[in-house]
A and B are shown apart, each in its own frame.
Chain A
Amino acid sequence: MKKRLLWSFCLGLALILFLSACSGSDEASGEGGSDDNGKEGDQVTLRMTWWGSQSRHDQTQEIIKKFEEENPDIKIDAEFTGFDGYFEKMAAQAAGNNLPDIMQQNFGEYLNQYADKGLLADLSEYVESGQINVEGVSETVMESGKKEGKLLGIPTGTNALTAFYNTDMLEEAGVEIPDENWTWDDYVATARKVHEETGEFGARLMEPKNLFEYYLREKGQKLFNEDGTALGYEDDQLLTDYFTMNKQLVDEGVAPGYDTIQQIKGVEDELIVHGKAPFDFRWSNQATALTSAAGDRNLEMTLLPGTNNTEGMYLKPAMLWSVSENSEHKEEAVRFIDFFTNNIEVYKIGGSDRGVPIKEDIRNQMADDLSETDKKVFDYIELVTENSSPIDSNFPPESSEVLAALEEVDELVMYGELSPEEGATQFREKATAILNR
């Protein structure tokens, strides 16, 4: 009796596992329903991956539909996730020699790492042959997709760090609206005043990964040295000052601590969106997501604070489109990238979600019917273009770990477990250990 029970239990379990495995693969293979990733009749199936928010997922799928209408011989299987987990997933696919044909790639340590391993196809020949039309795109923009003379990605658009602020909140508190000439002291003073007047937070806790790098650049320093073998700044006082400024705001209750920040799981949860903080420093291409979540709150954009902010600010490719080296359909993949770069329809659907378009004639064509937010983003990028310095691209492959260490130390300091000085020393120790490995 017992045995029979056990058997039926095992059988049942096996059946469940089997069925769930079936349904799983069903989902994975998508609408096409076939696994052979290649030709179906005369149609070529491309795999394409990106990260983003829900609005980007919707827009991109619409863009793909447009592309498929114009190119009936190509079918695109889309795989998309949030940024969390995207590169983990890609790493696993790379290990399995199974990278997608078209992948959304990130500038900096990610691109460098993929370049290092030779996982991405050199797109130069397609640009030369005109299969990807990048006429009139500025050299600096194209340069950001290059690594050791190989063109590994076509920028999807331009991006810059932005100080978003809520004018309603600032006016309510009776403080001056910041302009591009504001300093760190202005920022701290405004934040304090807003906190006193409204009782809400006066700032959002700064996220160290991008903002400390900006802080260093603004002081004329760099995060990594020329060849990416060590930290690029000598004086730990810089990081101490950075920590002290933030820690004071947290201690005074002007900025939220990590216990609040940790609850934010997407742009929709951000404090500025809910009128709980007047400032938010983040990438300009998130303006649409941010303003649409913020409803009727008035969000404006300006340069990050600092007397030297033209030194600190830089233009960054929002993302890049790359083609994997082992793709069997590079020609077709390239056609999609060309479509994305040159077809006005793409930007009618997506706006500036993947940054401000790299081609001037696209920008001009769009100018007439821009949404209000996109217009602000375009103007802002214009402003940054005039007030910025070239981006640093000397990120070593280990930099994701170094930046994770910075975040960890930042947490420890904000929780008060380390003093700002100790934090600065500890970060240097950790970074040096990682980079020397």
Chain B
Amino acid sequence: MLPKREEQATTTVPKVSPKPKHKQMEPLKPARRKVKKDNHNTTGYLFISPFLLGFFTLTIFPILYSLYLSFTDYDLMGTPSWIGLDNYVRMFTDDPTFWKSMKVTFFYAGIAVPIRLVFALLVAMALNKIVEMVGLYRTLLYLPSVVGGSIAVSIMWRQLFGNDGAVNSILGALGLPTHSWLGDPDTAIWTLIVLYGWQFGSSMLIFLAGLRNIPKTYYEASSVDGAGPVKQFFIITIPLLTPVILFNTIMQVIQGFMAFTPSFVVTNGGPVNSTLLYVLYMYQRAFEYFDMGYASAMAWVMLVIIAIFTALIFKSSPHWVHYESDNK
């Protein structure tokens, strides 16, 4: 459906535009065009200059500066002193906490991201079936993601899973054994994973848009051929949704690796570092131990890791992502 629309657009535009031009003065066209083109560029750049300014001073410069800092010993207050690859060497050979945080982060992202994606898809499919008051349901289900990154939700989470929190009260009322969810190194990380899964809203919306774009005729045709809903899901929904799945997976993997707020607010990395996510450890290095050089090096290692994952997902995409336009 999507490509079709685009085709329509591209086919109609040329049909309309050449006609008037033909009728009007032709000789002037080239010169005018050139001048206009230049003007367009400057005006264009002027229009996006607020962005460009911000992009170079607030994004590009800090990125490059942190690359420089990653080769220095810098405690935030003094001046950075060049130490070459020492930070990287120390990280990989002499810092068990670094590996611990790496392990925690992989575990977290490895479980939380699929959970969120599956959950988002299921909810999107349910919403797709609902006819009345879609807007209301969509908004309600999207809300957790809007407020999701915020401190308030994390604090609420801490209360929910605290020793005297709502979860334990409910369990107690039902006569089930209560548990110190945040205090037990084995369960603390799971409370964060559940929190991540709960904020499925943005992926859900994208899935929903994808689902809406699958023509109903396919389902009708297949049901005439005798395919049940499960079969339809696997032979129609999933293949036609793969581009959206690809997009969501990449976005969520990146987000999963960069998670900070939940572990910072809910558990602050504890107990016994069982929820010490990579970015939180990086923050501790930078601002609690005043080790900004090392933290910058960590940031670059994370960049490489995320880049590798994204590249892997992209590379694998020709094997499983199905674009309708390929068939035509």
Contact = CB atoms under 8 A, between A and B. Distances in A.
B271 A411 contact: yes
B271 A92 contact: no
Given A113-B77, A415-B271, A404 B288 contact: yes
Contacts of A257: 183
Interface stretch (A49-57, A122-130, A259-267, A353-361): A259-267
Given A114-B77, A117-B78, A262 B271 contact: yes
B289 A95 contact: no
Contacts of B185: 415
Given A113-B77, A263-B182, A258 B270 contact: yes
A87 B290 CA distance: 10
B272 A417 contact: yes
A113 B78 CA distance: 10
Nearest to A409: B272
Contacts of B183: 257-260, 262-263
A411 B76 contact: no
B76 A259 contact: no
B55 interface: no
A408 interface: yes
B288 A400 contact: yes
A contacts with B: majority SS:
helix
B222 interface: no
A294 interface: no
Nearest to A261: B183
Contacts of B292: 95
B180 interface: yes
A91 B270 contact: no
B76 A91 contact: yes
A401 B76 CA distance: 15
A259 B272 contact: no
Interface in B248-286: 267, 270-273
B201 to A, nearest CB: 15
Nearest to A418: B272
Interface string A216-260: 000000000000000000000000000000000000000001111
B264 to A, nearest CB: 10
Contacts of A258: 183, 270-272
Given A259-B184, A415-B185, A91 B272 contact: no
Q: With a 10 A CB-CB cut-off, give which of B77, B164, B270, B273 has the most chain A CB atoms.
A: B77
Contacts of B270: 258, 262, 411
B289 A401 contact: yes
B292 to A, nearest CB: 8
A401 B289 CA distance: 6
B76 A94 contact: yes
Contacts of B180: 259-260
B94 interface: yes
Given A113-B75, A408-B97, A415-B272, 19 more contacts: A87-B288, A88-B288, A91-B290, A258-B270, A258-B271, A259-B183, A259-B184, A260-B180, A262-B183, A262-B267, A262-B271, A263-B182, A397-B75, A397-B290, A400-B288, A411-B270, A411-B271, A412-B272, A433-B94
Interface of A: 87-88, 91-92, 94-95, 113-114, 117, 119, 257-260, 262-263, 397, 400-401, 404, 408, 411-412, 415, 417, 433, 437
CB-based closest 10 A-B pairs: A259-B183, A88-B287, A259-B180, A117-B77, A95-B76, A94-B77, A401-B289, A91-B76, A411-B272, A117-B78
